[in-house]
Chains A and B, each alone.
Chain A
Amino acid sequence: MKRLLVVPVVMMFLLTAFVPVASADTSNVVFMGQGQSSALDLSVPLLNSLPTSILSGILGNLGALGKGITAGHTETTFEGLTNPSVNGLALGVCSLLGSNLLSLPATSGTLPGTLPALGGLPSLGGLCNGQTQATSSSVGSHGTTSPTCNDLNIAILDIKTSCSQSFSTIDGGRPVSQNNAGVAEINVALLPNVLGGLGLNSLLGSLGLGNLLGGGTTGTAGSLPVVSQLPVAPLVDNLLNGLLKGVAGNAGVPLATNDLVGTLTNTLQQVLGNAGNLVTIRLGTGSSVLSNNGSATQETTQAAGAHIGLIADLIQIDVGAANSTVSWNDATGQATGDAAPAIATIKIANPLGGAPLLNLPLTIPSVGGLLSLGGLTQADQSGNLTLLAGTPLETTIKIASATPHQTGRNVTSSSDGVSILALKGLGASSLGAMDGGLRLRLASSSASVAGDILKVAAAAPSLPITGGPTYVFLAGAAFLAVAAAHVIRNSRRIRAGASK
Chain B
Amino acid sequence: MKYLATPKARRALATILSCLAIAMVVGAVGLLGYPTYTNIRASREQKALRNEFLTSSKLKQAYQAASTPGAAMGTKVTLAEGSAVTRIQIPRMGLDTVVVQGTSNQALAAGSGHYPQTPLPCSPQGNVGIAGHRTMNGHPFQHLDQLVAGDKVILTTPFQTCTYKIVASVDGHANPYVTDPNDWTVIAQTPKPMLTMSTCTPEGTARQRLVARAELVSTTNTVPGASVK
Query: A residues near B, CB below 8 A?
Result: 4, 7, 11, 20, 459-471, 473-474, 476-481, 483-485, 487-488, 490-492, 494-495, 497-499
Residue pair A466, B14 in contact (C-beta under 8 Å): no
Residue pair A467, B24 in contact (C-beta under 8 Å): no
Given A466-B131, A494-B10, A494-B14, the answer on whether A480 and B35 have CB atoms closer than 8 Å is no
Residue pair B11, A480 in contact (C-beta under 8 Å): no
Most chain-A Cβ atoms within 10 A of its Cβ — which of B7, B31, B135, B182?
B31
Stretch at the interface among B69-77, B84-92, B195-203: B195-203
CA gap between A276 and B183 in the complex, in Å: 83
14 contacts between A and B (CB under 8 A): A463-B198, A464-B113, A464-B198, A465-B105, A465-B206, A466-B108, A466-B206, A468-B133, A476-B31, A477-B27, A477-B31, A481-B24, A488-B17, A488-B18
CA gap between A485 and B28 in the complex, in Å: 11
Work out how many contacts link A and B, with CB atoms closer than 8 A.
Answer: 128
Contacts of B104 in A (CB 8 A): 464
Residue pair A464, B108 in contact (C-beta under 8 Å): yes
Interface string of B119-142 (1 = CB under 8 A from A): 000000000000111111100010
Contacts of A476 in B (CB 8 A): 27-28, 31
Query: B residues near A, CB below 8 A?
Result: 4, 7-8, 10-11, 13-15, 17-18, 20-22, 24-25, 27-32, 34-35, 38, 103-105, 108, 113, 131-137, 141, 181-184, 186, 198-206, 209
A461 vs chain B, min Cβ distance (A): 8
Residue pair A4, B204 in contact (C-beta under 8 Å): no
- Which of A4, A460, A467 is within 8 Å of B182, CB to CB? A460
Residue pair A471, B25 in contact (C-beta under 8 Å): no
- Which of A468, A479, A494 is within 8 Å of B4, CB to CB? A494
Contacts of A474 in B (CB 8 A): 31-32
Residue pair A487, B31 in contact (C-beta under 8 Å): no
Residue pair B135, A498 in contact (C-beta under 8 Å): no
Residue pair B10, A497 in contact (C-beta under 8 Å): yes
- Given A476-B31, A494-B4, 13 more pairs with CB closer than 8 A: A7-B24, A462-B206, A465-B105, A466-B141, A467-B206, A469-B205, A476-B28, A477-B28, A481-B25, A484-B22, A488-B18, A488-B21, A497-B10
Residue pair A481, B28 in contact (C-beta under 8 Å): yes
Most chain-B Cβ atoms within 10 A of its Cβ — which of A465, A471, A497?
A465
Residue pair B18, A491 in contact (C-beta under 8 Å): yes
Contacts of B199 in A (CB 8 A): 466-467
Q: Name the residue of chain B whose CB is nearest to the CB of A17.
A: B206
Contacts of B18 in A (CB 8 A): 487-488, 491
Residue pair A467, B31 in contact (C-beta under 8 Å): no
Residue pair B28, A478 in contact (C-beta under 8 Å): yes
Residue pair B14, A491 in contact (C-beta under 8 Å): yes
Given A460-B182, A463-B198, the answer on whether A468 and B11 have CB atoms closer than 8 Å is no
Residue pair B31, A480 in contact (C-beta under 8 Å): yes
Which 3 interchain pairs have the tightest Cβ spacing? A467-B200, A468-B136, A498-B10
Residue pair B108, A494 in contact (C-beta under 8 Å): no
- Which of A11, A481, A484, A494 is within 8 Å of B13, CB to CB? A494
Residue pair B137, A468 in contact (C-beta under 8 Å): yes
